[in-house]
Amino acid sequence: MYLGNFIVREDVRGRGVGRQIWKAMLEKAGTRNIALDSEPYMEEWYEKQGFGHKTYKVLFYNVKITEDMKTDVPSSYDVKTLTDDMWSDLLAYDRLVYPDTDREKILRAWLVGDEVRTVVAYDGSRVVGYGSIHRKETEQYGLRNVFADSEAVLVAMLRDMFRAVPAGWEVRFMKVEEKAMPAYLAHSVYQNDSALRMFNKFPVRTNVDRIWFGTAHIV
């Protein structure tokens, strides 16, 4: 179970509303493992509530799209828009990242729909990455999962996904902390937040080597 927003309106704080929400959430989860992405100042509090299993940290960034970023550059990888017959390839690659977790149901909900585009990168017949981009608010897009075998694969997918983003607009993404910022993005990127993935019962095993940009809401 994933705990997303946990917010109490400022004018009613201190009346136990948050405690009631927290208690209801724990009761709803029952015996299931709970995941959340903690703001830095809340990590110690969540740990005291039993969320002692920490995994990777993500740093929130925005990058402004330039015309140069949209230029078609030759690549040895074939980046394709996801179609129905490619789902088995995408899901097989996802199991390399989350080897113990069947994520098909939630991925099918998150990676398709209005204003969403998902791409799969191939090296010949072998999948080497996938990523998703969606339109957010005015003049902003967001990246969801972007998993790749290497930085070269990552950049090939980003170039393809960014072609639909008007120059001057921003793209928001969450980079795994230990991953280096690709030079392709470094010219106009800035950080504005961070979060740590935490679990209360056990950590979900992940192959972080392939995770470049994560999505807080997809466990």
Q: What residues does each domain of the chain span? A: 57-214
Q: How many CB atoms lie within 10 A of CB 31?
A: 5
Domain spanning 57-214: CATH superfamily: Gcn5-related N-acetyltransferase (GNAT) (3.40.630.30)
| pLDDT value of residue 138 | 84
Each residue's pLDDT tens digit, 12-51: 999 999 999 999 999 999 999 999 999 889 999 999 999 9
SS3 at position 17: helix
DSSP letter at 107? Answer: H
**Does the pLDDT value for residue 114 go beyond 70?**
yes
| pLDDT value of residue 144 | 87
- Pick the more confident residue, 69 or 6: 69
**Does the pLDDT value for residue 70 go beyond 80?**
yes
**Does the pLDDT value for residue 140 go beyond 60?**
yes
Percent of the chain with pLDDT over 90: 74
Least confident of 69-73, 80-84, 145-149, 151-155: 69-73
**Does the pLDDT value for residue 217 go beyond 70?**
no
Residues 104-116: b if buried by 16+ CB within 10 A, e if exposed: eeebeebbeeeee
Residues 155-171: b if buried by 16+ CB within 10 A, e if exposed: bbbbbbbbeebeeebbb
Distance CA 70, CA 92 (A): 29
